[in-house]
Amino acid sequence: MATVYGYGVDLSKLSFTDEEAMKNFIKKYLPDEVENMEENINENGMDVFEWIDNYDNGFGYHGLSAMLADIINKREGVEFSAYDSIRNGCIYISANYPWHFNEKEKQLTSASFSDIICKYLSQITSDVIACESLDLYFESLD
């Protein structure tokens, strides 16, 4: 077992229950996925949360954390990571050497990180969003 340290949001501590808000969020930020989402909802009887649970970022991560990392990374020019080993997962930036970060990541502060996270999460949850240090456990780091 391996441990990765980072700073981010444990999404399992937040409530995501507004289907309409989630659909609108996906339409706004993942327009190429809307047809797939609507097909699965209308023809396969899925709800939007089941569709999100099945979201695959193409790098082996799934669910809400993977979807949010994809959206934020593309829009903000940062490389936040997804952790999907718990319900809804975590989105975080890992502790790393400075030379592994791009220029935007090097300029991040806890306040600017929180601003980025809140910009997106506040559209899909009404809960208080708390960024914190995270210890994430992986079976392996392959």
10-63 tens-digit pLDDT:
999 999 999 999 999 999 999 999 998 999 888 888 899 999 999 999 989 999
What is the mean pLDDT of the segment spanning 63-81?
96
pLDDT score for 142? 54
Q: What is the CA radius of gyration of the chain?
A: 15
What is the mean pLDDT of the segment spanning 103-108?
93
Q: Which residues pair with 8 in a beta bridge?
A: 92, 132
User: pLDDT at residue 103 above 80?
Assistant: yes
Farthest CA pair distance, the chain: 47
What is the mean pLDDT of the segment spanning 109-135?
96
pLDDT tier, 127 (very low <50, low <70, confident <90, very high otherwise): very high
pLDDT tier, 141 (very low <50, low <70, confident <90, very high otherwise): low
pLDDT score for 140? 61
